[in-house]
Amino acid sequence: MCEVVKTLDLGGVEVLLVERLLRARKEIVDYTVICLRASTDELIERLRSAGITVIDLTGSPRLLVYARLVAAVRRVAPQVLNVHSPAPAIVLRPFVRFGRRRPALVSTVHCERWPKTMRLDRLTRGLDDCTVAVSPLVARSRAVVGARRVLTRMHGVNVQEQRRWAARARLLRREFNLPEDSFLCACVANFRPQKNHRLLLQAVEEVVRLRPDAVFALAGDGPLRDEVVRDVETRGLGDRVRVLGRVPRAARLVAAADLLVLSSDYEGLPVVVMEALAAGVPVVSTRVGGVPDLITSGRNGILTEPGSAGDLAEAMLQAMEPQRHRELRAGALADAESVDMADTAEWFEELYAELAGDVKA
């Protein structure tokens, strides 16, 4: 089996794929992962350590990378090809569909929005044998228009591991050089426009004025990182907001937090929200993407309308109130099993076996 992903960086799509493959029964199925680029070796090394072949095309010239992708897929000659990013899927579909040795073709759709590629993706999606949506929202969205068959599967995370990290929260805070006695709010989101860190910092200004024990830890990487650092300094928040940058195994930071906060303008199905629930950490987030499929306001978190710093600040302050926080934490813990990755690897293995049999027939 072959999985194709545009990057193997530390984003949600990549983490979902890696966690599933680490749970797969590799003694039964051989897996190869092809990525077009990777700015860190962390996920590649985790896959290779588990006996999974990784073909990294990072060094390929930009004009040749898709030709090399097609060549790599032909060399692997898988029974089933699952593509997790729209641009590679657009390129691979015609080559795969009309090749002499045609694998079953799957596209896994992780986000409801692909603004740059939506039209071409829609035109070629009918070449897939199956489309897998990672949330009910994605399954209802324009991102799967044109699909011949749509299945929905929420992937999940390693719940037991998150619980183990949560039990070591104080030790983790020391590792990250964060105050052990603070009310720790974590934001794990790459520094990109859609994550709207500016909105978050506007809300933080109000929160820290009323909650002197609040500390915010921002983890991630991306083109806007330096801009966010400057914004923190300009607002005089340097002692209350820690920009940690890229954090290996950032799920540990989530488990060490008292609250997860997201200020995004749009999302798919955020892995970090599932990591928070698995660790019993309540979530305050804008009501975007697949977040409402995971978070119920008043049960395991609080949702706000996107674009409102005032609403986001008010939600954080509500979630910090001791009694409310205990209730939200209990709700998050109760919902942890709903985001367990345990059955997802087996679900995909069964799907792959079915599709491989259909192609042979």
pLDDT digits (tens, 9 = 90+) for 190-240: 999 999 999 999 999 999 999 999 999 999 988 999 999 999 999 999 999
Chain CA centroid to CA 36, Å: 18
Decide if pLDDT at 359 tops 70: no
Of all residues in the chain, the percent with pLDDT exceeding 70 is 98
pLDDT digits (tens, 9 = 90+) for 54-105: 999 998 998 899 999 999 999 999 999 999 988 999 999 998 887 777 899 9
Q: Does domain 159-339 have CATH number 1.10.10.1100?
A: no
Tokens (6 digits) for 186: 């974590």
Split at pLDDT 50, 70, 90, the class of 161 is very high
pLDDT at 114: 66
pLDDT digits (tens, 9 = 90+) for 250-293: 999 999 999 999 999 988 788 999 999 999 999 999 999 889 99
Q: Do 159-339 and 2-156+341-356 have the same topology in CATH?
A: yes
Of the given ranges (65-79, 86-100, 173-187, 310-324), which has the lowest mean pLDDT?
Answer: 86-100
Q: Does domain 2-156+341-356 have CATH number 3.40.50.2000?
A: yes
Give the count of alpha carbons within 13 A of 340, CB side only: 13
When pLDDT is averaged across residues 11-36 and rounded to a whole number, the result is 86
pLDDT at 254: 97
Residue with the larger pLDDT of the pair 260 and 340: 260
Phi, psi dihedral angles at 76 (to 5 degrees): -65, -35
pLDDT at 268: 79
pTM: 0.82
Distance CA 74, CA 69 (A): 9
Decide if pLDDT at 112 tops 80: no
Amino acid code (one letter) for 158: N
Of all residues in the chain, the percent with pLDDT exceeding 90 is 70
Residue with the larger pLDDT of the pair 113 and 90: 90
pLDDT at 360: 57
Domain boundaries, the chain: 2-156+341-356, 159-339
